[in-house]
């Protein structure tokens, strides 16, 4: 059974009789219901990969920053160290997320309704956020090394406060890039004054 027959049948079975052709096309695009997808070696396209991993660079460093703040508050070296690991891991995941963006764009450029302006804004924001997050990730890695070497400057609050500040800045930048990415195909969140 062809995929064009199965999608309208799905809508009819679920009681949605007033479905436009564009609704079906959109569902086909998102679900990937073509013959390549079912048992013939196609695992995931670039757009799907990008959507799968793009949440990690947003959430993981934020949780890491929260753990470092809790570690400072509770005077827990273990919490601070776990926070450093999470920030560093988030920075690592930001690389494949960013690199999968360009191939994802090539998948979307032929899809109707894709705004080139929104794609460009998202790409520019992601590039800047990636640079900042990678710097923060490298500093987190250096802090981890210094913790292992028992460097005395990490006993003070100021280095941690500076790192947490820049980690939260990188979170804000990554969250903005993610928001702009969401605007590309989520019309319900689009407005004339997005940030």
Residue range of the domain that includes 75: 46-189
Write down the pLDDT at residue 62: 96
Question: In angstroms, rounded to a whole number, what is the distance separating the alpha carbons of residues 47 and 163?
Answer: 33
- Are 129 and 176 contacting, i.e. CB atoms less than 8 angstroms apart? yes
- Count of structural domains, the chain: 2
One domain, residues 28 and 54: no
Local structure of residue 76 (DSSP, 8 states): -
Write down the pLDDT at residue 36: 47
Q: Pull the structure tokens for residue 49.
A: 């990969």
> Half-sphere exposure (CA, 13 Å, Cβ side) for 72?
17
pLDDT tens per residue across span 77-102: 999 999 999 999 999 999 999 999 98
Q: Across the 195 residues of the chain, what is the mean pLDDT of every consecutive 10-residue run?
A: 45 48 47 47 74 91 96 95 97 94 83 84 95 97 94 90 96 94 73 54
One domain, residues 11 and 82: no
In a domain, 194, yes or no: no
One domain, residues 17 and 85: no
One domain, residues 32 and 54: no
Question: In angstroms, rounded to a whole number, what is the distance separating the alpha carbons of residues 156 and 162?
Answer: 11
One domain, residues 11 and 56: no
pLDDT tens per residue across span 34-60: 444 444 555 777 778 888 898 999 999
In a domain, 195, yes or no: no
One domain, residues 111 and 61: yes
Tell me the H-state helices in the chain.
3-13, 21-31, 46-53, 56-74, 77-99, 101-108, 116-148, 157-185
In a domain, 147, yes or no: yes
CA-to-CA dists, residue 192 to 161, 179, 187, angstroms:
36, 14, 12
One domain, residues 56 and 33: no
Question: In angstroms, rounded to a whole number, what is the distance separating the alpha carbons of residues 153 and 146?
Answer: 9
One domain, residues 105 and 184: yes
Question: In angstroms, rounded to a whole number, what is the distance separating the alpha carbons of residues 86 and 60?
Answer: 6
Write down the pLDDT at residue 75: 93
Helices 77-99 & 101-108, crossing angle to 10 degrees? 40
The backbone torsions φ and ψ at residue 114, rounded to the nearest 5 degrees and listed phi first, read -80, 125
One domain, residues 128 and 55: yes
> Cα angle at 40 between 34 and 42, to 5 degrees?
70
One domain, residues 90 and 147: yes
One domain, residues 95 and 174: yes
With 0.95 as the threshold, say if the pTM is over it.
no
One domain, residues 71 and 159: yes
């Amino acid at each position: 059974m062809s995929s064009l027959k199965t999608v309208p049948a799905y809508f009819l079975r679920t009681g949605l009789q007033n479905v436009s052709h564009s609704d079906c096309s959109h569902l086909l695009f998102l679900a990937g219901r073509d013959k390549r997808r079912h048992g013939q070696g196609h695992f995931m396209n670039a757009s799907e990969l990008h959507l799968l991993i793009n949440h990690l660079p947003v959430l993981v460093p934020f949780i890491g920053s929260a753990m470092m703040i809790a570690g400072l508050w509770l005077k827990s070296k273990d919490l601070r160290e776990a926070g450093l690991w999470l920030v560093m891991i988030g920075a690592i995941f930001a690389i494949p997320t960013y690199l999968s963006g360009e191939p994802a764009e090539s998948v979307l450029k032929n899809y109707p309704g894709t705004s080139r302006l929104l794609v460009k804004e998202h790409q520019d924001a992601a590039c800047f956020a990636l640079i900042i997050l990678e710097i923060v990730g490298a500093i987190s890695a250096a802090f981890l090394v210094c913790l292992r070497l028992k460097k005395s400057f990490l006993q003070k609050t100021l280095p941690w406060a500076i790192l947490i500040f820049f980690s939260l800045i990188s979170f804000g930048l990554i969250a903005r890039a993610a928001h702009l990415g969401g605007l590309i195909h989520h019309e319900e969140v689009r407005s004339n004054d997005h940030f």
